[in-house]
Structure 1
Amino acid sequence: MPGGLEAVYGVHTVDALLERGEVPRELWVQEGEAGRRLAALVEQAANGGSRIQLQPREVLERLAQGASHQGIVAFCTPLAFEAEATLWHRLSGWSHAEAPLLLVLDGVTDVHNFGACLRSADAAGAHGVVVPKDKAAPLNASVRKVACGAAESVPVYQVTNLARTLDRMKNEHAIWVIGTAGEAESVVYQADFTGPTALVMGAEGKGMRRLTRESCDSLVKLPMAGQVSSLNVSVATGICLFEAVRQRGLTPEI
């Protein structure tokens, strides 16, 4: 692997890199039919300056360590979290027509859940994701693969103290903080997502930490009609975010 670079794999992930103008330093493409199917993507990368190398399938398999690489691996600069100061700067100079919608993840440490949450945040048009420095998944190649390009398009802000960040959101930017908890009395459909909103999702099993919970303005739950008591955090995140989409009238016309 080229030194100092991160390997990301999969057609959607590589395509997202190129779409946002980030040309991989090097691109490994599987030899044979798989490589021929990727000809257009490879040509786009090569025209941008990527160094193209054909590799046997077993080399890509070894590099991806069991993940689905789909015949293509790109080597690029590792992603970095956005600074906390950038979050406050963007909220202070808010220029979007719609009110801010932020997803806050408290204690989500599984990279697959993290990537899936980023994908839902991107699909729902969330303006950013906020995570704490402790008890949070890294922003690595596995996350990028699961997120299918969302890790590159949605800003992820890393903050030192999550409870303090939520308090500042409320006090300085009039953001309503909605937390999710199984014991809440209200269901998510009764919450108001039309104004400036931060949706807080806790880790599976433990949920939100105590100080995070105490910083929330309200708590909501998903109505569970079956035998299971809870949903995977990424599934629950998607449901809650798209309730915000529905309320904000952003649903595409059919």
Structure 2
Amino acid sequence: MAGNSQRKGAIKKSGKGNPTAGSGGRVRRGLEGKGPTPKAKDRPYHAQYKAAKRAEKSAARRPQKRRTGGDSEWVAGRNSVVEALRAGVPVTGVYVAEGAERDGRLREAFGIVADRGLSLMEVTRGELDRMTSGAVHQGLAARIPAYEYAHPDDLLDAAADNGEPPLIVALDSVTDPRNLGAIVRSAAGFGAHGVLIPERRSAGMTASAWKTSAGAAARTPVAQTVNLVRQLKAYQEAGLMVVGLAADGDVSLPDLDLADGPLVVVVGSEGNGLSRLVSETCDQLVSIPMASTLESLNAGVAAGVALYAIAEARR
């Protein structure tokens, strides 16, 4: 029946052109302000928003800094303790055995302890034997905290913070802590952004490495990785070139044209050099020219020479 408003379809109840609803309300609502435009990082479809989300996920996946195997390490013996104190090793406490003979080394240790405000405790000789696990302590020992290793990505962050192309030193099965300490010292001296070591079959940041670094370990981060080859490939994906030091390298160090770019320098073990997988991962193998083919350099010296040449090329 015409005009029957109850009949289905007789009056259009929604949509554009609805004669009963009118248009004033809809137009007025459409003209209302929606507030300030969100910042780019707050807009879900903006590149900055997506980049921030990726960074958050990466940070969530990144493990916390790892400590060495134990809670602390002991330096035992008068010469060793004095050398550690001289080198600025982060000693947390010095222990002297009751009745220990006072000599020049003991007095020097006491003087450094007093100057640095360190804790000095007197214990029985038997207690000192127990704490140092029976080491020959000569009545004097020092305790140092376990080293906190950086994450490999932290080394890239350090370069970015300085606005410099990354320069990282990676060690392949370098087992002598003194070589590790010397390499950390060279890395600090020649502008590297950190040192990367494998978790296994490698020297760690022990008291011996700390001493050899002459305090550089406090300024230059040392990172650990579970798998060295995998981490080198990750650095390559991040835009870094990887070069390995090898006696039979295809490129001589003075001719290295990658020195001024993002770079990882891999140093092999003291006896066997680079492992096969690491060598195959490198973009280039670089040799250090020697006056005699019978001569060779240990890992610490080789790293120092290479870093000096790279630093000169970057000037």
Same fold, judged at TM 0.5 (above) = yes
Matched, 1:7 2:77: no
- Name the residue aligned to 2:10: none
In the alignment, what sits opposite 2:302? Answer: 236
TM-score, with structure 2 as normaliser: 0.63
CA distance in 1, matches of 2:207, 2:73: 7
TM score, norm. by length of structure 1:
0.76
1:43 to 114, 119, 127: 114
Shift of residue 242 of structure 1?
0.9
Partner Cα separation in structure 2 for residue 207 and residue 33 of structure 1: 42
What amino acid is the match of 1:80? E
CA distance in 2, matches of 1:51, 1:242: 41
* RMSD (Å), alpha carbons: 3.3
Partner residue in 1 for 2:5:
none
Distance 2:179 2:135 in 1: 19
Do the aligned partners of residues 238 and 54 (structure 1) sit closer, same or farther apart at CA in structure 2, a change above 3 Å counting? Answer: farther
Residue 177 of structure 1: aligned partner? 242
Does the 8 Å contact 2:155/2:221 carry over to 1?
no
Shift of 1:141: 2.0
Partner of 1:81: 149
Q: Following TM superposition, by how much is the alpha carbon of 1:7 offset from its aligned partner in structure 2, in angstroms?
A: 2.4
SS in structure 2 opposite 1:94? helix
Q: Which runs of 5+ in 1 are unaligned?
A: 250-254
State the Cα distance separating 1:203 from its structure 2 match: 1.0
The answer to whether the aligner puts 1:217 opposite 2:291 as a matched pair is no
CA contact (8 A) 2:168 2:263 kept: yes
| Structure 1 residues 125 and 28: CA distance shift in structure 2, 3 A | farther
CA contact 2:244–2:282 (8 Å) conserved in 1: yes
Is the CA contact 2:85–2:109 (under 8 Å) kept in the aligned structure 1?
Answer: no
- Between structure 1 and structure 2, the one with the greater Rg is 2
Q: Which has the higher contact order (CA 8 A, sep 6+)?
A: 1
Give the 5 Å matches for 1:98-177: 98-172=164-238, 174-177=239-242
The 5 Å alignment of 1:19-58 reads 24-28=91-95, 31-38=102-109, 41-46=112-117, 50-53=119-122
Contact kept, 8 Å, 2:87 with 2:211, in 1: the verdict is no
User: Are the structure 2 counterparts of residues 205 and 76 from structure 1 closer, same or farther at C-alpha, using a change threshold of 3 Å?
Assistant: closer
Deviation of the 1:38 alpha carbon: 4.9
CA contact (8 A) 1:100 1:195 kept: yes
Secondary structure (helix, strand or coil) at the match of 1:95 reads helix
Q: How many residues get paired?
A: 232
Cα offset, 1:78, TM superposition? 1.3
Of residues 142-151 and 102-111 in structure 1, the stretch that sits farther from structure 2 once superposed is 142-151
Which piece of structure 1 moves more, 28-37 or 217-226? 28-37
For residues 190 and 103 of structure 2, the distance between their equivalents in structure 1, rounded to whole angstroms, comes to 38
Could you tell me which residue of structure 2 aligns to residue 252 of structure 1?
A: none
Cα separation, partners in 2 of 1:55 and 1:40, compared to 1, 3 Å: farther
